[in-house]
Amino acid sequence: MDFTLNADQATLATAIDSLAARFETVPTNYDGFTLFGRDLEQELENGEFFDIALVPELGPLSAALAVERLSRLPYTAEFALSMLFRPHLSGEWPRPIAIVENGRPGRFVATAKTILVIDGENVGITQPSPDEIEPVESIFAYPMGRLKTGVTITPLPASEAAIVRKWIRVALAAEASGLLHTAIAMTVEYLTVRHQFGRPLGTFQALQHRLAECTVLAGGVRWLALRAAWTADDGDAALAALHAQESATRVIYDVHQMHGGIGVTLEYPLHLWTYRLKALISELGGRGGQASAVAQHCFGSASSY
C-alpha cells in the first residue's frame, strides 16, 4: 500500500506543521484543567483550514490528517467537527460546532454557533443565541457548556442523521489519534529521564512491553481513522470510533500509572491530552454505542451484540 502524501497533501501538511509549531509549548506556570486555543482557532480561520475537505484535491482524508496533527497540541480548539463534519451538512451552518448528547454538557457548547442535539436515535440541529447556552466547570480538558431548555431544535431526517453520526465518529477517531500519540510520546520522554534503582525507568522490560502495546493501539486508531475518512463508509467509521474509545481506555490507565504521582498533578500537563480522551470515550453512546454500530453496519444486525 502507498501511504506517501501527494503534492497537495504534502503542501498542506507543511502549512499545518508551520502553524502548529507556534502552539507546541505549554505556557510557563500553567496549572489549569483546560488550555483553550482561541488564537489557534483564529489562525485556522484566517488560513481557511476549516474548508480543507471541500477542496477536491484534498478532501476528507486531508482534513483527517490535519485534525490528527492539531490534536497533538496542548491547546484545544474546535476544529475536528468543523473540518470533518460541517462539509457534509446541508445548508449554511456557522462554526464553532458542538454536540449535546442526551442533555449532558458538551465540548465547546458555551461558544458554539451551531449545536447538534442527539437524543437517543433522534438528531436535531440548532443555532442558539448566547443566552441559551452557558459554560460548565469541568475537569475535562475542554471548555464545556450546557444548552438550556426550551431551545428550538430542527429535527434531521433519518438519512441526514446517519451522515451526522458517521462523520462525528470519523472526527472522534482522528482527534483521539493525535491525543493518544502525544500522551505516549510524553510517557516515553518521562521514562527516559526519570531514574529509579540507578537507571532510567524506560530500561525496564515490563514498561517497554506496555508502551509497545500502547503504541500499537494508537497506530491502529490512526490508520482506522484515515481509512474511514477515505472510504466514507459507515462501518469503517464505527470501527474507527470503537477502536479509538477502547484504546483510549487502556492507554490513559497505562500512561498515568507509568508517570506515578506527578501524572495526576495539574503542574504536569499530561492531563491536557488524557482528560480530553476521557471526554471522547463517552461520546455517541461510548464503547457500547460504537459496538452496536459496528454490528449494524459491518454485520447487518445490532440485536445480537
pLDDT at position 153: 94
Joined grid coordinates for residue 234: 459507515
pLDDT per residue as tens digits for the range 46-74: 999 999 999 999 999 999 999 999 999 99
Calpha distance 148→137 (Å, rounded): 15
pLDDT at position 196: 83
- In this prediction, residue 143 has a pLDDT band, given cuts at 50, 70 and 90, of very high
Question: Does residue 303 have a pLDDT over 60?
Answer: no
Domains parsed from the chain with CATH numbers: 159-299 (1.20.140.10)
Annotate 27-66 with b (16+ C-beta within 10 A) or e (fewer): eeeeeebbbbbeebbebbeeeebbebbeeeebbbbbbbbb
Average pLDDT score over residue span 182-211: 90
Residue scoring higher pLDDT (29 or 184): 184
pLDDT per residue as tens digits for the range 156-176: 999 999 999 999 999 999 999
pLDDT per residue as tens digits for the range 243-294: 999 999 999 999 999 999 898 898 899 999 999 999 999 999 999 999 999 9
Give the angle subtended at the CA of 302 by the CAs of 301 and 304, to the nearest 5°. Answer: 90
Average pLDDT score over residue span 102-120: 94
Please state, as a whole number, how many other Cβ atoms lie within 10 Å of the Cβ of residue 167.
25
pLDDT at position 136: 95
pLDDT at position 148: 92
- In this prediction, residue 2 has a pLDDT band, given cuts at 50, 70 and 90, of low
- Average pLDDT of the residues of the chain: 93
Picking from 271, 288, 262, 269, the residue whose alpha carbon sits closest to that of residue 138 is 271
pLDDT at position 182: 98
Calpha distance 97→85 (Å, rounded): 9
Calpha distance 256→265 (Å, rounded): 10
Query: Which has the minimum average pLDDT: 6-20, 148-162, 188-202?
Result: 188-202
Q: What percent of the chain has pLDDT over 90?
A: 84
